[in-house]
Amino acid sequence: MASKHIGICRLCKQERELKNSHIVPKLFFNLIKKNSPTGRFRTTDNPNTPYQDGKKLPFLCEDCEERFSKYETFFSNQIYQNFSDGYGVEKFESNDDEIRYFALSIAWRTLKYLMEKGIGNLSNEEYKQLDIVLEKWRNALYQEDFKTIRAIKQYMIPTAFLHYFSGRPTRIISNVCGDFKVYGKENEFRAAYTTVQVPYLIFVSMAWGEESLLHHYEIGEKIIPNDIELPETLVWQLDLFHKQKFEEANQAMSDKQRQKITQMVCKNLGISLPDHKHK
Ligand SMILES: [Zn+2]
């Protein structure tokens, strides 16, 4: 098992032994396991959702892993512990450079991973711009350059009360998925962002543009879980996560299992059970 993987670390760009790194931090997968009545992580094999059971890749060297884990620990202890123990309904302050860093580290890993796999439908100009953004993010994370990180538009959207999930409440806690999309006409540079959904939260980091509907959830604000109108672009992205392959995975789950999870989520969040007539 212990075969070493030597390669170029994505963060420090040096040739090092690479660790098997999580694209999305393990703490989120652990929470799903904890919340699942079967104690197991359920996956959808969706090309848009690369994170299967906390998929790990040789991505970072040990030093860079440690650099990231510092901020992950801060986020976990200062924010996420309380927030997730309270079923995602607790408000919290987000005005910390550690939180900004943590959010950007997820966005960067996601975008880097997807760029390496190949993102289709982009113009040369857009590719060029994305390379510049990726390098800016990498450098800011590597140098722990908070001045640059503060200037990047990032949002954290609590999902517990979002109308979007009222018909599919298990999706508030039962998945981790991430993607990156460019929105608007070719070379318009209206908006482009990573979307990473984890239990109780969606992280959005803008490569360019901004989403004014999300301004209450910009990192730096006091984050108050509520039902808000979501930007069309985000709804479209969420539909990609939740309306296609997920439905297939959902079919594969037994009725009893599904009902058990739905009941638990609804009870915890104090919401009424969704209508099952359309199954
Ligand atoms: Zn490194």
Give the span between the Cα atoms of 244 and 223, in whole angstroms.
30
Per-residue confidence (pLDDT) for residue 253, from 0 to 100: 62
Domain assignment of residue 4, yes or no: no
Q: Domain for residue 277, yes or no?
A: no
Instruction: Tell me, yes or no, whether 118 lies in a domain.
Output: yes
State the distance from the centre of ligand 1 to the C-alpha of 105, rounded, in angstroms. 13
For residue 252, the CA-to-ligand 1 centroid distance in Å is 40
Alpha carbon of 11 to ligand 1 centroid (Å)? 5
CA-CA distance, 207 to 211, in Å (whole number)?
12
Give φ, ψ of 94 to 5 degrees: -120, 15
Residue 271 pLDDT:
65
The answer to whether position 37 is within a domain reads yes
Ligand 1 centroid distance, CA of 113 (Å): 15
- Rounded to the nearest angstrom, the distance between the alpha carbon of 148 and the centre of ligand 1 is 20
Structure tokens at 7: 């390669």
Tell me how many domains the chain contains: 1
Residues with CB under 5 A from ligand 1 (ion): 9, 11-12, 61, 64
Per-residue model confidence (pLDDT) at position 21: 85
Q: Which residues of the chain have pLDDT under 50?
A: 40, 42-52, 276-279
Q: Give domain status of residue 8, yes or no.
A: no
What the block records as the tokens of 244 is 């296609």
CA 97 to chain CA centroid, Å, is: 18
What is the distance between the alpha carbons of residues 144 and 32, in angstroms, rounded to a whole number?
30
Query: Ligand 1 centroid to 103 CA: how many Å?
Result: 19
Confirm whether 246 is domain-assigned: yes
Enter the pTM of the model: 0.86
Q: Tell me the C-alpha distance between 182 and 184, whole Å.
A: 7
Is 13 part of a structural domain of the chain?
Answer: no
CA 54–ligand 1 middle distance (angstroms): 20
Cα 137 to averaged position of ligand 1 atoms, centre (Å) = 15
Q: What share of the chain is helix, strand, coil (3-state, %, to 5)?
A: 45, 20, 35
pLDDT, position 50: 40
Residue 250 is predicted with a pLDDT of: 59
Q: Domain span at residue 98?
A: 18-53+60-269
Whether 91 maps to a domain, the answer reads yes
